[in-house]
Amino acid sequence: MAEIQLKNISKRWGSFVGVDNFDLTIADREFLVLLGPSGCGKTTTMRMIAGLEEATEGEIHIGDRMVNDLDPKDRDVAMVFQSYGLYPHLNVYENIRFPLKVRKADPATHDERVRKAAEMVELTDFLHRKPAELSGGQRQRVALARAIVRKPSVFLMDEPLSNLDAKLRVSTRAQIKNLSHELQVTTVYVTHDQIEAMTLADRVVVMKAGVVQQVGTPTEIYDNPANTFVASFIGSPAMNLLDGEILNGTFTGKNVTVSGLNAPNGPVILGFRAEDATVSETPAGEIAAPLYTIELLGDATMLTVRAGGQLVSIKAHKELRAQIGDPVAFNVPAAICHLFDHETGGRLNRP
Is the pLDDT score of 135 beyond 70? yes
| pLDDT at res. 85 | 79
- For residue 47, report the phi and psi dihedrals to the nearest 5 degrees: -65, -30
- For residue 159, report the phi and psi dihedrals to the nearest 5 degrees: 45, 55
pLDDT tens digit string along 206-240? 999 999 999 999 999 999 999 999 999 998 889 99
Is the pLDDT score of 322 beyond 90? no
Taking residue 22's Cβ as centre, other Cβ atoms within 10 Å add up to 25
Q: What is the rounded distance in angstroms from the CA atom of residue 218 to the CA atom of residue 343?
A: 26
Helix axes 92-102, 136-148, angle to 10 degrees: 30
| pLDDT at res. 309 | 79
Is the pLDDT score of 103 beyond 90? no
Is the pLDDT score of 308 beyond 80? no
Judge whether 152 and 185 are in contact, CB under 8 Å: yes
CA gyration radius for the chain?
Answer: 24
Is the pLDDT score of 346 beyond 70? yes
| pLDDT at res. 343 | 93
Is the pLDDT score of 318 beyond 90? no
- pLDDT, the chain, mean: 90
| pLDDT at res. 1 | 62
pLDDT-based confidence at residue 283 (cuts at 50, 70, 90): low
Which segments within the chain are labelled E, that is strand? 4-13, 16-26, 31-35, 57-62, 65-66, 77-80, 154-158, 186-191, 203-208, 211-216, 240-247, 250-253, 256-258, 266-272, 278-279, 287-296, 301-307, 310-316, 327-331, 338-341
Judge whether 195 and 166 are in contact, CB under 8 Å: no
Judge whether 292 and 305 are in contact, CB under 8 Å: yes
Q: Which of 7-11, 119-123, 164-168, 286-290 has the lowest mean pLDDT?
A: 164-168
Average pLDDT over residues 235-246: 91
Is the pLDDT score of 174 beyond 70? yes
| pLDDT at res. 349 | 77
Residue type, 341: D
Judge whether 222 and 51 are in contact, CB under 8 Å: no
Q: Report long-range pairs for 250-259 (Cβ below 8 Å, ≥24 apart).
A: 251/337, 253/307, 253/308, 254/307, 254/308, 254/309, 255/287, 255/288, 255/289, 255/305, 255/307, 255/308, 256/286, 256/287, 256/307, 256/308, 257/286, 258/286, 258/332, 258/334, 258/337, 259/286, 259/334
pLDDT-based confidence at residue 321 (cuts at 50, 70, 90): confident
| pLDDT at res. 61 | 96
Judge whether 182 and 122 are in contact, CB under 8 Å: no
pLDDT tens digit string along 14-40? 999 999 999 999 999 999 999 999 999
Judge whether 96 and 149 are in contact, CB under 8 Å: yes
Structural domains for the chain: 4-230 (3.40.50.300), 238-341 (2.40.50.140)
Is the pLDDT score of 284 beyond 70? no
Q: What is the rounded distance in angstroms from the CA atom of residue 212 to the CA atom of residue 210?
A: 7
pLDDT tens digit string along 66-102? 999 999 989 989 888 877 778 899 999 999 999 898 8
Q: What is the rounded distance in angstroms from the CA atom of residue 100 to the CA atom of residue 98?
A: 5
Q: What is the rounded distance in angstroms from the CA atom of residue 248 to the CA atom of residue 263?
A: 8
Q: What percent of the chain stands above pLDDT 70?
A: 98
Q: What is the rounded distance in angstroms from the CA atom of residue 130 to the CA atom of residue 73?
A: 26
Q: Which of 1-5, 83-87, 214-218, 330-334 has the lowest mean pLDDT?
A: 83-87
Q: What is the rounded distance in angstroms from the CA atom of residue 186 to the CA atom of residue 6?
A: 14
Alpha carbon of residue 320 to chain centroid: 31
Q: What is the rounded distance in angstroms from the CA atom of residue 86 to the CA atom of residue 142?
A: 8
